[in-house]
């Protein structure tokens, strides 16, 4: 017998062909062996400007242009590499020091190998995106070299070699090749300086082998210490590795190990484990909750051991604890800084998950829940057994000054300090730094690198400093970072999409212009806009006029943004990622460039503008006879502020047509509102205040609650009507892909607590079976002696609701489209395209629905629309929170140094404190028992009646909904570094 | 009785008779001069299909050639309530207990792993040019190969992943050439080689979790596992075709030889690992199955003896029944008489012994195949 084996290598034609084999597991559980072929080329350039050979062979694109070479001819040198150097980072260099590579002063001329890029992608998707965006940054000169596709640098895997070893070898091989290639290039140029090619790797083994191969390789920290500003840069290396090296010995493992991924997936499928997003209670940092589909109510996760290194926002897998460990949600405020003060960040000896004090605090809790009557309904508790996805981001915070040992600025010794994040739900982060002294009292940005089983707190590293605490710049930036608001100026590619005429753009005079095609000339209508004072981005304008048949014609005209922002260009993409304009007290972060938002699209008075109009015929009773939609050209006659408009309407002497039109609008809006209310729309309330700022410095001087005028509701009614009409039209035209907005009915359990509170405290009944019932029962919650009580209840009811969301019509059944709060069957956003991306998409869909233009493909794909909805939902929520946080900050600033006595209402009672809401400033704040007097008074908490009785140094009885007088002063909150108001019970 | 081989050999009764008598000599004289246990040289290679888990190609010198691809897919096992595993009902409180159960099972798992496999987990399909897949020949061949494959129980158990999942093995056999001779040995040898080279992705998950596999193909393990020294613990079976002429036992018969065979047996042999033997023991082969094959010689035209030929003064029988009856009694040299009837027990015993015995033919074949490099 003979055996025969042909080998690919023996085939002379196959020298540029390699194959790779791997196993792929598909979603459906199939396991496939995949063979991929790999064609090796020789025309992949090295992209160094030193090299003329590569330039001659580099492939050209369809415009017959060769891609510009990236790497500089004269790269920066260091002491070690006086001739300049190119960097070739290994995967772990990116993983450990991504922030370093993003520094502007160093790390130029970097060759990112394909091997490395792919490994980074496998290890961490966010990091991969950051590397890719770096390669697009021209100043940084990052070049992706496809070493796996170039014949000379391709490395076949050796028999028995691990993938890691092969990749390391590929990196070394590429470094080696670059070195030789450059030497060759320099020789042909006859220049003296040949830059070194330096491999950066944190893998000792790899470095050792590099040394054997004669390649210069350095560890990240070694390399950085040779740079200027090394101290600052060294802090930016991820803390994990060093830490691990340091503690190579045996350490006590504090946290239980995570389950393996397969075990978790099996468990989730079998429903023995549950997956959900881990949320930490803002009042109690040791209490988290996970909402899972299998249970109506969120599962409680109590204590550090059970939350097992999960950070608020992570997607976790939990296991339900046995029933005897179920508990009621805590009625106690626990703040990290008050429990765990004076911890030393450096020592870890004998560190247990719970400090003794934490344990005591929690034990008290347990005793309390055990002693409770049966009605204390224990909730299922759970423990985290694994994390599916970390949602760690960069966190803004400040350094705990107690954790700094030597605060001398000159001291350059490395020490470990605690960073206290601004977000109270995030645990302290242990950061090693050499610049502790300098960073004290500053807002700093850090990242969490890891959270090992042996460490009580996550380990992170410092990214950059935003500036002094409580300076406007630093605080605003902190806020924007915390809420992930994209605030960088618009890039050039976006600005290139603007009309070339700039501010001189005008509606074409000639009616034959292509811009007029399909557009109705509505310039003779008496249109006006009503907005908040000082508004420059005017989205909407209105008109009304009587018709000969006794009905009225009412028009809502919306800025025609979709005319300027075409789908899929750079501006559209940017707007789609921004999702919404963010309004801060002193600043507006636009979704669209200023030119469009405040000029070309804005429906300014006295000039002609493109608009998208919705025109109804309405009877005097407010019934819609017919509605139509058209692109149009309008000329607004006046831009009113709400007060102005109100004054004009109320002024009996004004009898011109514009004013008459406005009166008609007002009359109709009241009828519309009544209809809506009859249908069960909710009149909800949220505390809204305005911070009055000094015009020049925009320093806050006063705080006012917003006033509601009739004209506010006039505009609101017609906008709602337009949105509803458009939603119907879009849905009719695109039943699968209309972008709509829904507000789900809140689950009954959401209202349970509030209903019980009202029943116990006031004997009132809150009915929640429908929005109509809720609206009616809210109307009955009146305390004749206290007009604000009703508003308070509404505020609390609002918090029980779900948040409204954008969705794609094909993903829900029609009954699910309902907007609970507005009691409308279908709803979308159409009226603010300048500041909301959803409206822009609705415009495009409506334009296609009336056959004005073709619909872009992206708006026909359910998947893409869903992605858009997901993003704008998040952006919308973030923008709201950023706005609120900004107001909160400015309220704090406005009250700085002042002491005011004001009345407030108790919103929530805990066993060791209570929350007071002050309507005058729209703020709520916690009053702890220990704030009542020193020593801390004894508190006895009546859980069923929501009464907290303090005795001892101060005798007081606080109950829910009670009106109390509080003294408002300001203080800088130690835990977050925010200036916040502080309330004292009088 | 198996369907006989396909192509008729075009040999005259005289030629058949000559062939028969030379094969019946002691020692037999074969047309190609081989000894009775000698195999024809063959060309073999394995691991030739990159996309399959295992594969092989074997080419016999008579031009017949076959390719075998082995593919393994993860499949959900049917839920079997058995005493061994007990019945677990998912109660929320019982989670902890269940975990303990699993661990205990794992401890004793090594021995309890026996007999967990099912016969349906391996499937053989055979493609022969000119035959439909439900024709007798491919179906019968597949049945014979499957029988041998499953007869050694280790393979089935090897396919067990956990209580919920198993590997399903698809063995696709493709005969490239016309079935000139009876293709069973060719297909069996090719299948054997393909199975030897077959590998399964490495399992990363534990116990009864949904299986997760290492995406590194190099980490995969052989379907027929090897010990640390690289020696296979047990091997796939081979099925050999053995024929008898006179008292002689002849291996690897050619088409012509089969045309005069008095009896043909398909003997399947595999490693015997059930009895713990020292690994140094040279041979521990065991017989897996035997099937008799209807030899094509039965359909050959008989020679006409002088006594039955009117031209030579004989008297022709009046009916074919008479002819058969007359031929039965005749034992005449030089006149071809198609064999009829069964085999003798003793002969069968002898055949098996030659195959299985230490240093026997099967051992030689298996060792030869093991030497084929992948």
For the stretch A567-583, pLDDT in tens is 988 899 889 989 999 98
Cβ neighbours of B88 in A, within 8 Å: none
User: For A32, which residue in chain B has the nearest alpha carbon?
Assistant: B73
The pLDDT tens digits for B300-318 are 888 888 777 788 777 777 7
The partner residues of A709 in beta bridges, in order of sequence, read none
User: For B364, which residue in chain A has the nearest alpha carbon?
Assistant: A1
Cβ neighbours of A260 in B, within 8 Å: 204-206, 209
Query: What token pair was written down for B160?
Result: 């067990």
User: For B374, which residue in chain A has the nearest alpha carbon?
Assistant: A5
Question: How far apart are the C-alpha atoms of A461 and A439, rounded to whole Å?
Answer: 13
| Residue of higher predicted confidence among A617 and A67 | A617
Helix, strand, coil % in chain B, rounded to nearest 5: 30, 20, 45
The pLDDT tens digits for A879-935 are 988 888 888 888 777 777 778 888 888 888 888 788 888 887 777 888 888 777 777
The partner residues of A604 in beta bridges, in order of sequence, read none
Cβ neighbours of B90 in A, within 8 Å: 270-272
What CATH number matches the domain at A261-389, 3.40.190.80, 1.10.3720.10, 2.40.50.690, 3.40.50.970? 2.40.50.690
Residue B203 to chain A, least CA–CA distance (Å): 11
Cβ neighbours of B39 in A, within 8 Å: 1
Contact B95 A272 (CB under 8 A): yes
In angstroms, the Cα distances linking A81 to A11, A87, A231 are 43, 11, 20
Averaged pLDDT for residues A60-76: 83
Q: State whether residue A667 is helix, strand or coil.
A: helix
- Check pLDDT > 90 for residue A552: yes
**Nearest by Cα to B13 from B308, B291, B227, B235:** B308
Chain B residues contacting A via beta carbons under 8 Å? 39, 41-45, 50-53, 72-74, 76, 90, 92-93, 95, 201, 204-206, 208-218, 220, 368-369, 371-374
- Per-residue confidence band for A407, with pLDDT thresholds at 50, 70 and 90: low
| Residue of higher predicted confidence among A94 and A27 | A94
User: For B42, which residue in chain A has the nearest alpha carbon?
Assistant: A1
Q: State whether residue B64 is helix, strand or coil.
A: coil
Rg (CA), chain A: 32
Facing B74 at nearest CB: one of A29, A34, A319:
A29
- pLDDT of res. B275: 47
Averaged pLDDT for residues A714-723: 92
Question: How far apart are the C-alpha atoms of A452 and A311, rounded to whole Å?
Answer: 13
Q: Structure pTM? A: 0.67
- Check pLDDT > 60 for residue A432: yes
Q: Which CATH architecture has domain A896-985?
A: Beta Barrel (2.40)
Backbone angles phi, psi at A381, to 5 degrees: -110, 160
A85 in Cβ contact with A109 (< 8 Å)? yes
Residue A111 to chain B, least CA–CA distance (Å): 27
User: For A7, which residue in chain B has the nearest alpha carbon?
Assistant: B48
- pLDDT of res. B88: 43
Cβ neighbours of A23 in B, within 8 Å: 201, 213-217, 220
CA angle (B281 as vertex; B278, B282 as ends), nearest 5 = 155
The pLDDT tens digits for A145-188 are 998 888 888 888 888 788 888 999 999 999 999 989 988 888 88
In angstroms, the Cα distances linking A243 to A407, A431, A476, A524, A531 are 23, 11, 34, 74, 57
Averaged pLDDT for residues A620-649: 91
- Per-residue confidence band for B142, with pLDDT thresholds at 50, 70 and 90: very high
Q: Where are the domains of chain A?
A: 8-39, 71-237, 261-389, 394-476, 492-738+824-879, 896-985
- Check pLDDT > 70 for residue B32: yes
A540 in Cβ contact with A839 (< 8 Å)? no
Averaged pLDDT for residues B238-250: 89
User: For B46, which residue in chain A has the nearest alpha carbon?
Assistant: A5
**Nearest by Cα to A384 from A285, A302, A284:** A302
Between strands A527-531 and A624-641, the pairing is parallel
Averaged pLDDT for residues A651-659: 88
Q: What domains appear along chain B, each with residue ranges and CATH number?
A: 13-79+113-301+336-370 (3.30.230.70)
Same fold, A71-237 and A896-985: no
- Per-residue confidence band for A560, with pLDDT thresholds at 50, 70 and 90: very high
Contact B201 A23 (CB under 8 A): yes
Contact A320 B90 (CB under 8 A): no
Question: How far apart are the C-alpha atoms of A367 and B288, rounded to whole Å?
Answer: 71
User: For B39, which residue in chain A has the nearest alpha carbon?
Assistant: A1
Residue where the block lists tokens 């507000």: A743
Task: Express as a percent the part of chain A with pLDDT over 70.
Answer: 87
**Nearest by Cα to B297 from B46, B57, B11:** B11
Contact B210 A31 (CB under 8 A): no
Facing B210 at nearest CB: one of A22, A262, A322:
A262
User: For A272, which residue in chain B has the nearest alpha carbon?
Assistant: B92
Question: How far apart are the C-alpha atoms of B206 and B102, rounded to whole Å?
Answer: 10
A261 touches B at CB < 8 Å: yes
Helix ranges (DSSP H) in chain B:
13-24, 95-107, 109-112, 136-151, 154-158, 184-197, 255-258, 320-329, 345-356, 361-370
- Per-residue confidence band for A56, with pLDDT thresholds at 50, 70 and 90: confident
Question: How far apart are the C-alpha atoms of B352 and B289, rounded to whole Å?
Answer: 10
Facing B215 at nearest CB: one of A23, A30, A265:
A23
Facing B216 at nearest CB: one of A3, A22, A320:
A22
User: For B201, which residue in chain A has the nearest alpha carbon?
Assistant: A23
Report DSSP letters for A206-270, one per residue. HHHHHHHHT--EE-HHHHHHTSTTHHHHHTTS-SHHHHHHHT-S-----SPPPPPHHHHHHHHHT
Residue A162 to chain B, least CA–CA distance (Å): 8
Question: How would you write A874-889 as a 3-class SS string?
Answer: HHHHHHHHHHHHHHHH
CATH number for the domain running over A394-476: 2.40.50.700
Contact A29 B208 (CB under 8 A): no
Cβ neighbours of B201 in A, within 8 Å: 23, 31, 33
- pLDDT of res. A9: 47
Contact B210 A29 (CB under 8 A): yes
Cβ neighbours of A319 in B, within 8 Å: 95
In angstroms, the Cα distances linking B276 to A715, B155, B233, B272, B280 are 90, 17, 12, 9, 11
CA angle (B353 as vertex; B352, B354 as ends), nearest 5 = 95
A1 touches B at CB < 8 Å: yes
Facing A265 at nearest CB: one of B53, B210, B372:
B210
Query: A residues 141-170 near B, CB within 8 Å?
Result: 157, 160, 163
A480 in Cβ contact with A422 (< 8 Å)? no
- pLDDT of res. B276: 46
Question: How far apart are the C-alpha atoms of A488 and A593, rounded to whole Å?
Answer: 12
Query: A residues 336-365 near B, CB within 8 Å?
Result: none
Q: State whether residue A432 is helix, strand or coil.
A: strand
- pLDDT of res. A477: 87
The mean pLDDT of chain A is 82
Averaged pLDDT for residues A536-543: 90
The CATH class of A71-237 is: alpha beta
Contact B206 A263 (CB under 8 A): yes
| A-B contacts at Cβ under 8 angstroms | 98
Cβ neighbours of B74 in A, within 8 Å: 29-31
- pLDDT of res. A359: 56
Residue B77 to chain A, least CA–CA distance (Å): 13
Cβ neighbours of A33 in B, within 8 Å: 51-53, 201, 217
The pLDDT tens digits for A303-338 are 888 888 888 888 999 888 887 777 766 666 666 655
A33 touches B at CB < 8 Å: yes
Between the ranges A880-884, B43-47, B169-173, where is the mean pLDDT highest? Answer: B169-173
- Extract the runs of DSSP E, i.e. beta strands, from A439-503: 442-450, 459-468
Between strands B65-76 and B54-59, the pairing is antiparallel
Contact A320 B92 (CB under 8 A): yes
- Check pLDDT > 60 for residue A981: yes
- pLDDT of res. B8: 62
Contact B209 A263 (CB under 8 A): yes
């Amino acid at each position: 017998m003979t055996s025969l084996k042909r080998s690919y290598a023996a085939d002379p034609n196959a020298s540029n062909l390699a194959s790779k084999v791997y196993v792929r597991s598909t979603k459906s559980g199939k396991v496939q062996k995949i063979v991929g072929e790999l064609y090796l080329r020789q025309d992949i350039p090295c992209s160094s400007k030193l090299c003329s050979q590569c330039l001659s062979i580099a492939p050209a694109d369809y415009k017959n242009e060769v891609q510009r070479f990236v790497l500089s001819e004269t790269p920066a040198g260091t002491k070690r590499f006086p001739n300049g150097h190119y960097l070739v980072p290994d995967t772990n260099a990116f993983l450990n020091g991504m922030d370093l590579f993003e520094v502007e002063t160093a790390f130029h001329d970097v060759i990112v190998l394909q091997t490395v890029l792919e490994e980074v992608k496998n290890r961490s998707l966010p990091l991969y995106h950051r590397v890719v965006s770096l390669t697009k940054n021209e100043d940084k000169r990052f070049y992706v070299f496809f070493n796996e596709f170039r014949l000379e640098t391709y490395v076949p895997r050796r028999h028995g070699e691990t993938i890691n070893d092969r990749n390391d070898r590929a990196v070394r091989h590429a470094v080696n090749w670059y070195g030789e290639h450059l030497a060759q290039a320099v020789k042909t140029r006859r220049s003296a300086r040949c830059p070194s090619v330096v491999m950066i790797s944190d893998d000792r083994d790899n470095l050792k082998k590099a040394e054997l191969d004669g390649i210069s390789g350095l560890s990240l920290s070694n390399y950085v210490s040779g740079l200027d500003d090394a101290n600052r840069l060294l802090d930016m290396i991820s803390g994990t590795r060093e830490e691990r090296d340091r503690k190579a010995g045996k350490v006590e493992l504090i946290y239980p190990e995570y389950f393996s991924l397969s075990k978790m997936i099996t468990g989730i499928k079998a429903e023995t484990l549950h997956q959900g997003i881990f949320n930490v209670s803002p009042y109690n940092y040791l209490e988290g909750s996970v909402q899972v589909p299998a249970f109506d109510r969120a599962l409680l996760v109590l204590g550090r051991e059970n939350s097992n290194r999960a950070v608020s926002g992570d997607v976790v897998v939990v296991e339900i604890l046995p029933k005897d460990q179920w508990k009621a949600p805590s009625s106690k405020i626990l703040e990290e800084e008050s429990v765990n003060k004076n911890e030393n960040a450096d020592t870890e000896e004998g560190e247990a998950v719970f400090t003794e004090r934490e344990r005591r605090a929690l034990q008290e809790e347990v005793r309390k829940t055990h002693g409770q009557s049966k009605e204390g309904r224990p909730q299922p508790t759970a423990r985290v057994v694994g994390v599916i996805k970390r949602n760690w981001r960069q966190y803004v915070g400040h350094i705990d000054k107690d954790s700094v040992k030597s605060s001398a600025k000159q001291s350059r010794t490395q020490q470990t300090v605690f960073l206290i994040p601004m977000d109270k739900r995030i645990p302290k982060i242990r950061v090693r730094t050499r610049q502790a002294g300098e960073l004290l009292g500053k807002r700093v940005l850090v990242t969490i690198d890891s959270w090992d089983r042996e460490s009580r707190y996550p380990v992170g590293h410092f990214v950059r400093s935003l500036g002094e605490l409580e300076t406007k710049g630093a605080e605003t930036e902190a806020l924007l970072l915390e809420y992930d608001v994209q605030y960088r100026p618009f890039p050039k590619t976006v600005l290139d999409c603007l009309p070339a005429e700039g501010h001189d753009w005008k509606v074409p005079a000639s009616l034959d212009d292509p811009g007029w095609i399909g557009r109705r000339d509505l310039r003779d209508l008496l249109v006006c806009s009503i907005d908040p004072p000082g508004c420059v981005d005017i989205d909407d304008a209105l008109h009304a006029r009587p018709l000969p048949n006794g009905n009225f014609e009412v028009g809502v005209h919306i800025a025609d943004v979709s005319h300027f922002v075409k789908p899929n260009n750079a501006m559209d993409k940017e707007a789609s990622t921004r999702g919404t304009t963010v309004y801060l007290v002193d600043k507006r972060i636009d979704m669209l460039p200023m030119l469009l938002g405040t000029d070309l699209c804005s429906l300014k008075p006295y000039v002609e503008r493109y608009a998208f109009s919705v025109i109804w015929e309405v009877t005097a009773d407010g019934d819609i006879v017919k509605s139509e939609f058209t692109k149009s050209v309008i000329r607004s006659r006046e831009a009113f502020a709400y007060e102005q408009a109100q004054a004009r309407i109320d002024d009996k002497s004004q009898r011109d047509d514009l004013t008459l039109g406005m009166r008609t609008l007002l009359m109709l809006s009241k009828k519309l509102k009544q209809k809506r209310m009859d249908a069960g729309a909710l009149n909800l309330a949220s505390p809204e205040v305005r911070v009055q700022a000094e015009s020049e410095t925009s320093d806050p001087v006063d705080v006012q609650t917003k006033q509601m005028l009739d004209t506010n509701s006039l505009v609101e009614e017609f906008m709602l009507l337009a949105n509803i009409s458009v939603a119907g039209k879009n849905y009719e035209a695109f039943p699968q892909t209309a972008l709509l907005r829904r507000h789900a009915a809140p689950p009954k359990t959401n209202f349970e607590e509030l209903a019980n509170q009202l029943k116990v405290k006031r004997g009132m009944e809150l009915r929640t079976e429908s929005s109509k019932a809720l609206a009616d029962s809210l109307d009955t919650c009146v305390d004749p002696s206290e007009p604000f009580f009703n508003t308070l209840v509404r505020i609390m009811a609002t918090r029980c609701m779900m948040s409204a969301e954008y969705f794609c019509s094909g993903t829900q059944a029609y009954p699910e489209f309902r907007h609970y709060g507005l009691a409308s069957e279908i709803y979308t956003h159409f009226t603010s395209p300048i500041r909301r991306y959803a409206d822009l998409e609705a415009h495009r869909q409506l334009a296609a629905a009336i056959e004005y233009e073709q619909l872009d493909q992206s708006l026909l794909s359910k998947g893409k629309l869903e992605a858009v909805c997901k993003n704008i939902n998040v952006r919308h929520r973030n923008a709201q929170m950023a706005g609120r946080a900004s107001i909160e900050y400015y309220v704090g600033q406005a009250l700085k140094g002042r002491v005011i006595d004001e009345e407030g209402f108790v919103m929530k009672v805990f066993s060791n404190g209570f929350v007071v809401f002050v309507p005058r400033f729209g703020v709520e704040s916690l009053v702890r028992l220990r704030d009542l007097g020193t020593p801390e008074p004894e508190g006895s908490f009546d859980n069923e009646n929501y009464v907290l009785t303090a005795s001892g140094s101060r005798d007081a009885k606080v109950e829910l909904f009670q009106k109390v007088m509080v003294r408002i002063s300001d203080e800088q909150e130690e835990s977050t570094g925010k200036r916040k108001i502080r309330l004292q019970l009088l | 009785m198996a369907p006989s081989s396909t192509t008729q050999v075009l040999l005259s009764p005289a030629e058949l008779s000559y062939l028969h008598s030379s094969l019946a000599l002691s020692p037999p004289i074969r047309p190609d001069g081989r000894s009775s246990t000698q195999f024809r040289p063959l060309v073999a290679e394995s691991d030739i299909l990159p996309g399959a888990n295992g594969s092989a190609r074997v080419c016999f010198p008579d031009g017949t050639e076959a390719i075998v691809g082995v593919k393994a897919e993860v499949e959900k096992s049917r839920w079997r309530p058995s005493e061994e595993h007990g019945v677990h009902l998912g109660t929320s409180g019982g989670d902890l207990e269940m975990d303990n159960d699993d661990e205990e099972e794992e401890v004793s798992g090594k021995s309890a792993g026996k007999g967990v496999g099912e016969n349906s987990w391996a499937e053989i399909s055979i493609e022969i040019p000119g035959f439909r897949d439900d024709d007798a020949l491919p179906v019968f061949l597949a049945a014979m190969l499957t029988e041998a494959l499953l007869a050694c129980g280790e393979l089935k158990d090897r396919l067990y992943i956990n209580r919920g999942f198993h590997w399903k093995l698809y063995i696709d056999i493709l005969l490239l050439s016309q079935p000139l001779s009876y293709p069973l040995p060719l297909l069996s040898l090719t299948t054997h080689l393909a199975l030897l080279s077959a590998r399964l992705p490495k399992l990363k998950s534990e116990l009864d979790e949904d299986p997760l596999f290492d995406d590194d193909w190099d980490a995969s393990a052989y379907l027929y596992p090897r010990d640390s020294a690289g020696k296979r613990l047990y091997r796939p079976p081979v099925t050999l075709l053995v024929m008898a002429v006179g008292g002689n036992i002849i291996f690897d018969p050619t088409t012509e030889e089969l045309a005069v065979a008095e009896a043909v047996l398909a003997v399947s042999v595999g490693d015997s690992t059930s009895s713990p033997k020292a690994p140094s023991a040279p041979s521990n082969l065991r017989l897996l199955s035997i099937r008799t094959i209807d030899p094509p010689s039965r359909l050959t035209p008989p020679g006409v003896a002088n006594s039955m030929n009117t031209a030579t003064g004989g008297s022709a029988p009046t009916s074919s029944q008479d002819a058969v009856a007359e031929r039965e009694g005749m034992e005449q040299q030089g006149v071809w008489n198609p064999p009829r009837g069964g085999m003798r027990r003793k002969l069968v015993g002898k055949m098996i012994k030659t195959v299985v015995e230490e240093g026997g033919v099967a051992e030689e074949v298996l060792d030869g195949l093991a030497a084929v490099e992948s």
